[in-house]
Structures are given as structure tokens and as C-alpha cells.
Amino acid sequence: MSFNPLLPKIIEAVAESIAKNADDITLLDQAIGDGDHVTNLQRGLAALLAQKADISQLEWPAAWQKMGMTIMTTVGGASGSLFGTLFIAMSKALVGRESNVQIFSLAFTQAVEAVKQRGKSDVGEKTMLDVLVPVAQYLQEAVAVSTPLVQLLEQTQQVALTGMESTREMLAIKGRASFLGERTKGHIDAGAMSSCVIICAVADVLLEQL
């Protein structure tokens, strides 16, 4: 089943969800970050919205590649590099492979590994990886036992939410937040929240289609 006709809906849903949560994410980012995370993300999403018709005509690998390059060149900063890496790595992992849930879960896992390498980070360091890694692990486990797609998508959302919440009491050791030491505890990581919002928005679109 090809989801490419859904890509415009997915891009729109992500943009809407980020806008809806923009104030909350910005407050988190102002507390322990640079305060520009949402602004940067929305610049990239605006570029994707402008290209959504073209993107919908591409095969999955080409679509992810185009989206990744667009994000990397328009979002800027660490977020642009990391989110861009995620999509570009997914593109590379999908080349020459059939598009199905099993292959997608494998590609997503490989892409998250690429983000780890790019950011020189891992789980437990109060970053987006505290959402992405548990989601990747869950997808692999769910696919291995042939979890029904609706259940898989709903549980993916829960795993993302749990991962986001887990960053609240973590000590930040990466980026600007690392200079704040103990002051970073008690705050959810902005990148973890935006990652959770994006994953939940994508899952909602796919659930609507099912």
C-alpha cells in the first residue's frame, strides 16, 4: 500500500500540530534552550507545505530524500541537521525495497541510528532521541509479532508520549542546556516534545485512513 497520496495530509497535520503546541514547546525551549526551536521548525514546515504537491508524486525514497534536504537547508541549527538526517537516512534505507510496515520500521530504526551518530548522543541525555529510540524499538517489536496496524499506531503514540515525559527529570548533557546543570531538571526537552508531536500527528493521519 502506497501512502504517497497521504504525504500532503501528513505534512499539513504536522504543521498544524506544531502550530497548536508552539507556545508550550517555546516555553520549554526558552527555559533550557535557545528559544527558537519552533520558529526554526515552522520555517522548514512552510517549505515542505510549499512543495507538498511535488513530494506526493515521488516514490518513498525520493520523497524522504527531498523532505530531508529541505529540512536540513531551511530549519538550520541542530534541529535541521538531526531531523534532516532522519529523513535522508530513511530514504537510503528504503532504496530498492518494498514499502511496507516491516521495511518502514527497519528503515526508521536505521535512521534513528544515523541521528545518534550525527548528534553524538543517545537515550537518557534529554534529547529527541528519548522519543525516537523507544519508538524505533517498539516498532521493531510490534512488527516481529505481527501487531495489527491500528494497535501499532496507537501504541506508537503512547510510546512517544512516555518517551517525551521521561525527559522531565533528566539532566541535560548536550547543547546549550548542558550549561544549566541541575536547572534542566523539571523541564521536558523541547526537541523531545516536538518529536512526539510529529509522530502523534503522523499516526493520527494514518489512523484516519484505516
Q: What is the pLDDT of residues 64-75, one digit of tens each?
A: 999 999 999 999
66: nearest Cα among 45, 87, 82, 81: 87
Share of the chain above pLDDT 90, in %: 78
132-136, 146-150, 187-191: lowest mean pLDDT where? 187-191
In 3-state terms, what secondary structure has residue 30? helix
CATH number of residue 87's parent domain: 1.25.40.340
Output the pLDDT for position 1.
38
Distance CA 137, CA 86 (A): 15
Among 123, 94, 119, 118, CA closest to 108: 94
Structural domain total, the chain: 1
Sign of CA dihedral 17, 131, 112, 74: positive
Angle made by CA atoms 84, 87, 90, in degrees to the nearest 5: 145
Task: Return the C-alpha cell found at 25.
Answer: 514547546
Percent of the chain's residues with pLDDT above 70: 93
Look at the block and give the residue holding cell 537547508: 73
- pLDDT classification of 4: cutoffs 50, 70, 90: confident
DSSP assignment letter at 177: G
- C-alpha cell read off for 112: 534513528
Supply the mean pLDDT for the chain. Answer: 91
pLDDT at 6: 87
Read off the pTM. 0.92
pLDDT band at 172 (very low <50, low <70, confident <90, very high): confident
Write out the residue range of the structural domain in which residue 174 sits: 4-209
Sequence-ordered list of residues with C-beta below 8 angstroms from that of 148, at least 6 positions apart, any chain: none
Instruction: Collect all residues with Cβ–Cβ distance below 8 Å to 63 and sequence separation of at least 6.
Output: 4, 7, 55, 56, 91
Q: Is the pLDDT of residue 3 over 80?
A: no
